[in-house]
Amino acid sequence: MSGTPRIFVGLSGGVDSAVAALLLRRAGHDVQGLFMANWDEDDTYCSIATDYQDARAVSRELDIPLHRVDFATQYRALVFEQFLAEYRAGRTPNPDVACNREIKFGVCLEHVRRLGGDVFATGHYAQRIDGAPVELHKAHDLSKDQSYFLHTLHRSQLRAALFPLADRSKAEVRALARAAGLPIYDKPDSTGICFIGERPFRDFLAQYIPESPGPIETPDGERLGTHRGLAYYTLGQRGGLEIGGRAGHAEDAWYVADKNPTRNALVVVQGHDHPALASTGMSTERAHWLLETAPQTPFEAMVKVRYRQDDQHCRITPLPDGRLDVEFDRPQRAVTPGQSAVFYRGTRCLGGAVIATLRKAPLPPRDSRPSL
């Protein structure tokens, strides 16, 4: 890296990346902006055109060059196809994790280097700490921390990453944007999966995965209705089941507890805290570690099995093939295959793995189940 690094900032058109560029500019760095188009612009639900105009307005206000690059082809090949494959297998993937590894800090970082850049900065709420090895830590604002989505970065990618919002809160970021006259200071945060936008998720998925109706059942095999296809449902889901009131059952809401691909059956239970929704442990796919050496013996750590979850204490047993067996101190609700389990020690992100199978909590005898 040169003595005065040229920093490229991924300007998304949102307030976080805009303030990341603002802070670097004020610190006297050589800053340039880069806007990534990762989806088809002719998609009426896609906000690329609006986001690009917002990024242009920010770059003009900060007086920095703005480059635009189209990674839609790479995104489809490296992220979206895997997203569809997971849903076809009945799992629920997290494409943002793959996007960070393959696109933002993959093909985009390579593009930045071709443009003469040394560092790629983003508006992620996370913290990089240099050392041997470089470490990924949670952001100061734990309510906005996004280290969960960055846990599969390779250490070489992390060394080239910069997170200027590491010690900022969201309120501070918006206040900085407003004081600097940035036109997007009050732009709403983007939510959900980027390429789906505001459209109904089921309608989007149906364009790629045909409906495959099957029975909706209780754990005891009682048929309650018909689902549209296992791919359209996720564990713990409440809405969209269209079951309604049933004679002989309480009025509690129904939740997806399991999928049986062999019989194409969707298993549902009543009550948010029904024991069939709980898992005492899980197995994972091959883990990715942000450590000098992968752990070889059992150890204890904290885990998130989904974003927006408090850390949970667990015991991790590494298996010879790189997979993990994980035992929770307390049963966890709606652990979902295809999602990421991310491990922490204090604020440090150790790494993570995709959830493969679950170890379910034992069900009490039928007569003692309050919700059935």
Residue 358 confidence (pLDDT): 97
Residue tagged 């990341």 (tokens)? 20
- Output phi, psi for 317, to 5 deg: -115, 110
Domain boundaries, the chain: 6-179, 201-272, 277-360
| Domain 6-179: assigned CATH number | 3.40.50.620
State the chain's mean pLDDT as an integer: 92
Domains 201-272 and 277-360 share a fold: no
Cα torsion angle, 224, 229, 231, 233, sign: negative
CB neighbourhood size of 113 (10 A): 14
3-state secondary structure the chain: CCCCCEEEEECCCCHHHHHHHHHHHHCCCEEEEEEEECCCCCCCCCCHHHHHHHHHHHHHHHCCCEEEEECHHHHHHHHHHHHHHHHHCCCCCCHHHHHHHHHHHHHHHHHHHHCCCCEEECCCCEEEECCCCCEEEECCCCCCCCHHHHCCCCHHHHHCEECCCCCCCHHHHHHHHHHCCCCCCCCCCCCCCCCCCCCCHHHHHHCCCCCCCEEEECCCCCEEEEECCHHHCCCCCCCCCCCCCCCCCCCCCEEEEEEECCCCEEEEEECCCCHHHEEEEEEECCCEECCCCCCCCCEEEEEECCCCCCCEEEEEEECCCCCEEEEEEEEEECCCCCCEEEEEECCEEEEEEEEEEEEECCCCCHHHCCCC
Residues 6+ apart with CB under 8 A from 154: 101
Residues 6+ apart with CB under 8 A from 22: 62, 176, 177, 180, 182
Cα torsion angle, 7, 71, 54, 197, sign: negative
Residue 1 confidence (pLDDT): 43
Taking alpha carbons only, the member of 138, 79, 140 closest to residue 104 is 79
Q: Regarding beta strands 119-121 and 6-10, do their DSSP bridges make them parallel or antiparallel, or are they unpaired? A: parallel
Domain 277-360 has CATH 2.40.30.10: yes
34: which strand partners?
10, 67
Q: Alpha-carbon distance 216 to 225, whole Å?
A: 5
Fold exhibited by the domain 201-272: SH3 type barrels. (2.30.30)
**Which tens digits make up the pLDDT trace of 75-85?**
999 999 999 99
Check: CB of residue 241 under 8 Å from CB of residue 321: no
Residue 276 confidence (pLDDT): 95
Check: CB of residue 70 under 8 Å from CB of residue 37: yes
Residue type, 132: A
> In the chain, which stretches have pLDDT less than 70?
1-3, 41-46, 191-199, 365-372
Q: Alpha-carbon distance 160 to 154, whole Å?
A: 10
Residue 200 confidence (pLDDT): 78
* HSE-up of residue 146 (Cα within 13 Å, Cβ side): 20
Task: Give the residue numbers marked as catalytic.
Answer: 99, 194
345: which strand partners?
348
pTM to 2 decimal places: 0.92
Residue 252 confidence (pLDDT): 87
Check: CB of residue 127 under 8 Å from CB of residue 17: no
**Which tens digits make up the pLDDT trace of 330-365?**
999 999 999 999 999 999 999 999 999 999 978 776
